[in-house]
Structure 1
Amino acid sequence: MIGIPDAPLVFQAAATEECPTQKLNWKTDSPVWVEQWLLIKEKLKVLQELVDEQLAKGHIVEATSLWNSPVFVIKKANKGKWRLLHDLCQINNVTEDTGSLQPGMPSPVMLPQIWNLAIIDIKDCFFQIPLRPDDAPRSAFSVPTLNREAPRKRYHWKFLPQGMKNSPSICQWYLSSLLSPVRAAVGEAIILHYMDDVLMCAPNDDLLSHTLDLTIDSLVAAGFKLQEEKIS
């Protein structure tokens, strides 16, 4: 049996060290305000429920920002459930690109054919990666009340929002930074990632298991939630 090398002493510190959040670069500091659209009664009720859900999960906080972008809800195809969407087009227009986006997961066909594979699926990957505190207020939105019966409530995202053009590239960069000490610790094992999928490949079961354990430990220590049923 091939022995598994101990992880370098620096691994534990590097893997649990807080990963810095990438700063957004803005084309303007002048607040961008796009007024909230009118929504029918049914959708207003659903919107409030979905916002309450995000608030309970800690993904958003109440805000007093001078920035605003509209939100709306749509039904998921064939599921009957509603989805919260945030129209960040105008915010994207005043945000510099953070970098090139990886076009997709590298093909497993290019990996050694006799090596064993393992895959991890990260749950809600964007919602595990924080926005910088000085950038977060610019992701603000408003939740109107029916017939303007009360002041509308305002919130902003604490984590990468869906619909922000830089969320995918920041996610890619963040995971790469997080997995860097794992790659250094596992030697010849291969670790590939794309968005919420992490693929590991090693020449034997022992090294693959070791790589899987270190990868899971690193992700969990950073606050990521994993789809346990999809770890294979």
Structure 2
Amino acid sequence: WPLTQEKLVAARAIIQRELDQGHLEPSLSPWNMPIFVILKKDKSKFRLLPDLREVNKRMRDMGALQPGLPLPAAIPRGWPVVVMDIKDCFFSIPLAPQDCEKFAFTVPAANLTEPAQRYQWKVLPQGMKNSPTICQRLVAQALQPIRDRHPGAVIIHYMDDLLLATATQQATDKLEKEVVDHLQQEGLYIQEAKTQRGSSVSYLGTQILPETVRPQPIKLDLEVRTLHDVQKLVGAIQWLRALVGIPTDLMTPLFELL
């Protein structure tokens, strides 16, 4: 897709960072996909997103993550809660070497002053339809020993979002440390800046208080013009589905646009 000079500069900076971190590599692949460069929610940084619709059409579907979003309403009243986020979950999972070429993309030079550069992903790319399911299953496998050791704890897991709760603050703190240490051994790291503790935390579209759980306010932007607009709209509605019972057949027209 056409990129403005500002987005082209941002794309090159992102690509260099991902090359340095081992997530990308130069490519001679015959495959090629467009990319989007979009502003993050806080408008301070850009994100690079591959347009993988054609690749996804040729890929076997691994199925949904699970029947629906987990609901934290079953947490016993007054139990201390901690919410954690796994850092760069997709980028922590390597692609099979023979599959990397399928996730190649090209970045042109400004004013075509030199040949375009092609790169390919070495890790699960965002936008690949099976990336969420693979991430979900890998994290679930990593957490299973923790669940086995703490059958009385509440451990809720959805993709890269974790919630832990036990009967006492001391036990919750101990469980949190055990989870962090264990996940590191599995090559998964918690993003401390996003960890939530205290009497009010947010998790999967809900606000959890000591005595109640309630939905967070959600704003739906109905001005849909681009693929990214569709992704944002579907993402916002997904938080509501479990709470208000939106069936899949009503979501199908939006899913077909992704």
- Look up the match of 1:96: 60
* Alignment gaps of 5+ in structure 2: 198-258
Check whether the contact 1:190–1:202 (CA below 8 A) recurs between aligned residues. yes
CA distance in 1, matches of 2:10, 2:194: 30
Q: Distance in 2 between matches of 1:43 and 1:192?
A: 38
Instruction: Give the structure 2 partner of residue 13 of structure 1.
Output: none
- Equivalent pair of 1:105/1:193 in contact (CA under 8 Å): no
Structure 1, residues 32-78: CA drift from partner, whole Å, max 9, x if none?
xxxxx343433322221221122122221122222111113123355
* 1:181 matched to 2:127: no
In 1: Cα distance, 2:181 partner to 2:193 partner: 17
Aligned to 1:110: 74
Secondary structure at the counterpart of residue 163 of structure 1: coil
Structure 2 Cα separation of the partners of residues 119 and 104 of structure 1: 19
Once the two structures are TM-superposed, the CA of residue 172 in structure 1 deviates from its matched residue by 0.9
Matched, 1:213 2:177: yes
Runs of 4 or more consecutive aligned structure 1 residues displaced over 6 Å after TM superposition: none
Aligned length: 196
> Structure 2 length as normaliser, TM-score?
0.68
Task: Return the structure number with greater relative CO, CA threshold 8 A, min gap 6.
Answer: 1
Counterpart residue number, 2:231: none
Identity of aligned residues (%): 43
Q: Distance in 1 between matches of 2:172 and 2:4?
A: 53
Q: Which moved more, 1:105-114 or 1:167-176?
A: 105-114
1:134 paired with 2:98, answer: yes
The answer to whether residue 134 in structure 2 is matched with residue 201 in structure 1 is no
Structure 1 unaligned blocks of 5 or more: 1-36
RMSD between aligned residues: 2.1
**Aligned amino acid, residue 88 of structure 1:** L
- The more displaced of 220-229 and 72-81 is 72-81
Aligned counterpart for 1:119 among listed residues 62, 72, 83: 83
**TM-score with structure 1 setting the length:** 0.75
Deviation, 1:102, is: 2.9
